[in-house]
Amino acid sequence: EGSGRRVVELGDVENLEANGSVLKASVARVEEEGVVRAIVFIEDITQQRLSNQSQNAFIAQATHELRTPLTTIRLYCEEAIEAEGADEQVREKALNVISSETRRLERIVGDMLCVSEIEAGSLNIRRESMRTEQLFTELEEDYQAQAKDKSITLDFDLPPKFPTIQADRDRLGQALHNLMGNAIKYTPSGGTVSVTASFDEHDAMSVSIPDTGIGIDESQQERIFERFTRADDRRISQVTGSGLALARQIARLHGGDITLESEIDQGSTFTLFVPGTTESKQAA
Ligand code: ADP
């Protein structure tokens, strides 16, 4: 009698990546010349379920990351309002914090947009003339305070002259921010994070960020870049962490790459390389 729809879950549903399946069965009643038949459709919706799960995890992580800067901004806004006209120094400090936390929010939202673009296969870069010096002044401004809070020494070893290159300023900034943020995040207090930038005669750019942090086991060194291959690969279950996948994608869209050397408990060095554009310009 009647029609119905039932979702049947088989195997280890808590751990779908390992060995679970979700099947959806729909039953339709068909009556023809007094004969009643039932048609049963069985659909395997495991991949759909997995993709929903990873989307939910991503949203949960993203909202969690948005919350901290928002709370900081609210507190410092209140402080700035209270200090109005009374204590200029307090007010100035509060405004600086608000400004840097707002930039952090912009970066998080930028990363989220890029992540969905990568998943949709539509992440692009827009090359324009950009002054490379800015990349590093911004990094220094944005991370000096964080490093100091954690008692990490932040060193910059920069060339005396910076070329103007053809690249996507915002995206490259994003990639470097992700590498820098990780270096500080995964380096314990008392450690050192350095930034070394160099350019060759064709303006190819190489930026290395060695840290004295926790290091990455050799078996994990490729995997940490690969979170986005997860969609089709049921063995990879972790859904957090997309910064490195994003940074590498940005480098590759510029024709470059990110490489890694690391030893557990000793530290890691991520190097972002972007090939020069001067050579091709001369040839043309
Ligand atoms: P998230 O840091 O949010 O997890 P990422 O994609 O930025 O995501 O990094 C992926 C993983 O790579 C991290 O979870 C961490 O295990 C490892 N990792 C990245 N950078 C470093 C580093 N500088 N030192 C040690 N481990 C790192």
Give the atom of ligand 1 at the shortest distance from the alpha carbon of 183.
23
Average the pLDDT over 90-118 and give the result: 86
DSSP string, 69-137: HHHHHHHHHHHHHHHTTT-HHHHHHHHHHHHHHHHHHHHHHHHHHHHHHHHHT------EEEETHHHHH
Give the atom of ligand 1 at the shortest distance from the alpha carbon of 244.
6
Question: Out of 22-36, 95-109, 212-226, which region has the weakest mean confidence (pLDDT)?
Answer: 22-36
Is the CB–ligand 1 distance for residue 182 below 6 Å?
yes
Structure tokens at 24: 């959806």
Start-to-end Cα distance in the chain: 76
Flag whether the pTM goes above 0.95.
no
pLDDT in tens, 56-85: 777 777 788 888 899 999 999 999 999 888
- State yes or no: pLDDT of 177 exceeds 90: yes
DSSP string, 135-194: HHHHHHHHHHHHHHHTT-EEEEE--SS--EEEE-HHHHHHHHHHHHHHHHHTS-TT-EEE
Question: Out of 14-23, 73-82, 137-146, 228-237, which region has the weakest mean confidence (pLDDT)?
Answer: 228-237
**Residue 278's pLDDT band (boundaries 50, 70, 90)?**
low
In single-letter form, the type of residue at position 40 comes to V
Average the pLDDT over 126-133 and give the result: 93
Structure tokens at 27: 């039953």
Could you tell me which of 193, 207, 95, 195 has the C-alpha nearest to residue 150?
193
**Residue 136's pLDDT band (boundaries 50, 70, 90)?**
very high
In single-letter form, the type of residue at position 196 comes to T
Distance 165 CA to ligand 1 centre (A): 28
Distance 86 CA to ligand 1 centre (A): 44
The whole-number pLDDT of residue 236 equals: 40
Q: Which residue has the higher pLDDT, 48 or 17?
A: 48
In single-letter form, the type of residue at position 85 comes to G
Mutate which of 184, 225, 244, 258 for ligand 1? The one with the most ligand atoms within 8 Å of its CB, which is 244
Please provide the average confidence, as pLDDT, over all residues in the chain. 84
pLDDT in tens, 193-246: 999 999 999 999 999 999 999 999 898 888 888 764 443 444 444 444 678 988
Neighbours of 13 (CB within 10 A): 12
Give the atom of ligand 1 at the shortest distance from the alpha carbon of 246.
6
**Residue 10's pLDDT band (boundaries 50, 70, 90)?**
low
Distance 258 CA to ligand 1 centre (A): 13
Is the CB–ligand 1 distance for residue 174 below 6 Å?
no
Is the CB–ligand 1 distance for residue 249 below 6 Å?
no
Is the CB–ligand 1 distance for residue 183 below 6 Å?
yes
Structure tokens at 156: 């910059």
